[in-house]
Structure 1
């Protein structure tokens, strides 16, 4: 007797920003929360990384952790640097926060298939149609961190819905 495998494959998402201490660890935490709330955390592998090495081994920026905690988020990912060879192989989608991130990561692609994995979170900012990126709040104030979190929550919510719709053929609101 043959047993059918109804398990869905894991979808691996990697969020990228410049240093992996503000936007990408926040996106990591937000998407993790969203997949748990949707009951699909067993189908996702979520991580984040930075383009540069400046903060490798560090916790996220204190201000991002504080603003995230006010929203019930545990933003505690330890910063790491993007590794083109390993990360293009391991992840299905590499989600960048702005156009500079997009250019930096696509320039490291070793094939067209790698390049196609790189997507912009801004393409999923459906509740903020005027936004074309998730601005880096690092040199800003609390308002900048709140805006980044608002945009990331918007983008992650709609990205998750798009992935589920694509994988399962089921539209999610």
Structure 2
């Protein structure tokens, strides 16, 4: 399998939702033996946390489920990301609108909502847990795990065949 597919997860600050999605999806991709075939990254639409580690609450919730976020650092989306990544997936509609604004004219990449790949959640936006309690981070993980499995299934069926 020589083809490589690339996925970028995007939220506002790149310290809660998108690094959680990156870590969870990377775990599933590694478990499936597809690390050489799927490139994964995350970024934020805003520059609030460039170079910062993910939020401690996100890291702790992820670690309790077996996901490692310790090596991740925040970065901001850049125009080149629309060339580098096949899938640019936003956590909510506000960040999706920013991505559509930033995308070069005629961009053929799949820019959309991550939860479009969800199999069991009817919501289409991952809520920002930053200002809430620990339950919000657990909810984010539930949604991200579901959508990550759906995304992996989609990529295996449509991109790597």
SS in structure 1 of the partner of residue 107 of structure 2:
helix
Residue deviations 1:61-87 (CA, integer Å, cap 9, x gap): 000000000001101310001112x11
Out of 71, 75, 79, the position equivalent to 1:80 is 75
Deviation at 1:140, TM superposition (A): 0.7
Deviation at 1:41, TM superposition (A): 1.1
Out of 97, 104, 127, the position equivalent to 1:135 is 127
Task: Confirm or deny that 1:21 pairs with 2:7.
Answer: no
What count of residue pairs does the alignment treat as equivalent?
160
Moved over 2 A (4+): none
Where do 5+ consecutive residues of structure 1 fail to align? 1-6
Greater relative contact order (Cα 8 A, min sep 6): structure 1 or 2?
Answer: 2
Partner of 2:118: 125
Where do 5+ consecutive residues of structure 2 fail to align? none
Partner of 1:145: 137
Out of 101, 112, 135, the position equivalent to 2:106 is 112
Deviation at 1:13, TM superposition (A): 0.6
Q: Rg: which structure is higher? A: 1
RMSD: 1.1
Taking structure 2 as the reference length, the TM-score comes to 0.95
